[in-house]
Amino acid sequence: EEIRIFLGCSDVFVARFDRPRGTLEVLYESMDPGSESLEKLGDLHLTRFTTIMKDLRTKGQFLMQEFGSLSLLDPLLAEMVEKRHTNSLLILPLYLGKNLEGMVGFENIWSKKEWNDWDLNLLQTLCDLLGEALRRKGSAEKLNSTVKILKNSFEGTFRTMTKILEIKDPYTAGHQLNVTRLATAIAAEMGLTGDILDGIYYASLVHDIGKINIPTEILSKPIRLSEIEFSLIRNHTRYGWEILHNIYFPWPIADIVLQHHERLDGSGYPQGLKGDEILLEARIITVADVVEAMSSDRPYRPSLGIGNALDEIEAHSGQWFMPEAVQACTKLFREKSFSFIEEIADDDQILP
C-alpha cells in the first residue's frame, strides 16, 4: 500500500506461481480507492501471459508504457488494456532463493508512468527483499507444521504410557494426571514458560511410570508397607529412568523422573542430590507430588486433606522443598481456588 502510494500507481500486486494448478495466485493486492469500480485480479492462468513470462526470463523485467498491437496478442495484456484501461505496466520477477517463483506488478490506469532507472533499481531491491521474506515465511510454516506433528507424536507417546500404567494401577495413573495439572500450574504461577513448562508437563505425565515394574499387590496393599516393600517402591524412579532414557525428547524427561523424590538437603532418593544439583523441573514436580499424594485417598489410608498437605510443604520449605514452588503452590490453593479434578474425562483438561 505504501509503495503504491509512493509510486502513484493505481494497482500493485504480488503473485506466486502455483504450477500444479497451472495458475498464478495473487497473494496481495493494493488498489487505489479510485479504482473501486475494477475487480481485483484474482488468480490467473499461467498460459495467459506468455509475453510477460518471456520478458521476465530474458530481460529480468516486463515494462510496457505504450501498448501496441503485438502486445495485445497476450490475453492478459489484452484484458488489462481493454477492461482495466491500463496505460502503463511494470512487472518484476519474484525470486525465492534462486528460483523464479512469482512476480510483482505495478499498474497505472490513468497515466503513462515514466519508469526511470532509479525506480527500477528501488523496486527490484524491494522484490528481492519480498522474495526473501516469503521464503522465510514458507520455511517457518514448514517448521511449524513439523513441530506440530512432533508435538502430537509426543502427546500420543505420553498418553499411551499413562494408559498402560492405568491398566495396572488406576490410582497411579490418576495421580500422575493430578500432579501434572498442579505442577504445570505451579510453574506458570512462578512465571516459567517455554521449554521449562513443557518439560514439567510431559515429565509429570509419566513421573511414576516406573511403578509398572512394581508388583500390583504392593501398589494396592491396603495396609502400611513394610521396610522391604517400601524399598521396592523407591526403585520406581530408577525403573522410570530405564524406561525413558533411551527415548529422545527435547527435555530431560528421564532425569526429571529419576530425581522427583530428591530433597534439597540431600535426604531424598535415589541419588541423595542436594539443592541445585536437582533439576528445576524435578524440584517443582516434587512439591506437586507430595501435595497430591497427601490430599488423596491411598490404598492404606484416607486423604489427609489439602490443609495438612500445604502445612507439610510449608514446614519443610527450604529444607526438603523449593521455597518458590511452595509459595506458588500455597497461593494457588489459598488465593486462586485451585482444586484437583476427581475424575478427568478428557486429559487435555490438565493443561494450565
Phi (first) and psi of residue 260, to 5 degrees = -75, 0
Query: What pTM does this model have?
Result: 0.60
Higher pLDDT, 153 or 295: 295
Q: Lowest mean pLDDT of 108-112, 159-163, 185-189, name the range.
A: 108-112
Instruction: Work out the average pLDDT over 203-221.
Output: 88
Helix, strand or coil, per DSSP, at residue 164: helix
Map grid coordinates 491411598 to a residue: 298
| pLDDT greater than 80 at residue 11 | yes
Mean pLDDT of the chain: 85
Instruction: Work out the average pLDDT over 174-185.
Output: 92
CA 80, 83, 84, 86 torsion: positive or negative? positive
Phi-psi region of 191 (alpha: psi -120 to 50; beta: other; left: phi over 0): left
β partners of residue 64: 89
Give the pLDDT score at 53: 84
Q: Tell me: the pLDDT tens digits for 298-333?
A: 777 788 899 999 999 999 999 999 999 999 999 999
Helix orientation angle between 170-189 and 323-334, rounded to the nearest 10 degrees: 100
- Report DSSP letters for 191-255, one per residue: T--HHHHHHHHHHHHTTTGGGGGS-HHHHT-SSPPPHHHHHHHHTHHHHHHHHHTTS--SS-HHH
Instruction: Work out the average pLDDT over 264-289.
Output: 96
- Structure confidence at residue 348 as a pLDDT band (50, 70, 90): very low
- Structure confidence at residue 345 as a pLDDT band (50, 70, 90): very low
